[in-house]
């Protein structure tokens, strides 16, 4: 089953476009039609960015809404030529503040014990400043 999530414009009683938008999910195989929220958004762009609709439709379609600030470490490896250098695989490019927080966290780690790559990858979450 495939879900199509898109902003759709509501129709007025006479069938003409009403100028009010909702983010909706539509299934191709009988999963139904789901309205993301009850707001009347004045534009497709605003409807597309409605957090309430994104959360609701994320639960319906099985693709949970994730905050953009949810920066996570997917993997850690050491540079083969420089054992002091760590390479982090992240869910997105960190902001400058997040980069400073990562550097600070790694600096603190360094004085305790060399971190196990698995423990960093699965437990560290850096949230926005």
> Which residues sit at the interface with Zn ion, rule CB under 5 A?
37, 39, 50, 53
Question: Minimum distance between the CB of residue 5 and Zn ion, rounded to whole angstroms?
Answer: 13
Quick one: 10 or 72, whose CB is closer to Zn ion?
10
Rg (CA), the chain: 22
- C-beta of 39 vs 72, nearer to Zn ion: 39
Whole-angstrom distance, CA of residue 10 vs CA of residue 33: 14
φ/ψ of residue 97, rounded to 5: -65, -40
Smallest distance, Zn ion to C-beta of residue 42, A: 11
State how far the Cα of 128 lies from the Cα of 8, in Å rounded to an integer: 32
Q: How far is the CB of 117 from Zn ion (least distance, A)?
A: 41
CB of 98 to Zn ion, least distance (A): 28
Closer residue to Zn ion (CB): 37 or 57: 37
Q: Which is nearer to Zn ion, 43 or 119 (CB)?
A: 43
Residue 7: strand, helix, or coil: strand
Residues 17 and 11 sit within 8 Å (Cβ to Cβ): yes
CA 48 vs CA 15, 38, 106: distances in Å: 22, 13, 37
């Amino acid at each position: 089953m495939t879900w199509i999530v898109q902003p759709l414009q509501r129709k007025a009683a006479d069938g003409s476009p009403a100028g009010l938008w909702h983010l909706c999910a539509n299934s191709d195989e009988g999963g139904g039609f789901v309205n993301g929220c009850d707001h009347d958004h004045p534009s497709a762009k605003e409807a597309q960015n409605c957090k309430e609709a994104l959360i609701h439709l994320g639960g319906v379609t099985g693709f949970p809404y994730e905050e953009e600030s949810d920066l996570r470490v997917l993997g850690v490896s050491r540079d083969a030529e420089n054992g002091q250098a760590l390479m982090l695989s992240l869910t997105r490019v960190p902001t400058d503040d997040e980069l400073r927080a990562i550097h600070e966290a790694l600096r603190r780690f360094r004085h305790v014990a060399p971190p196990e790559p698995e423990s960093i990858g699965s437990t560290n979450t850096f949230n926005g400043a």
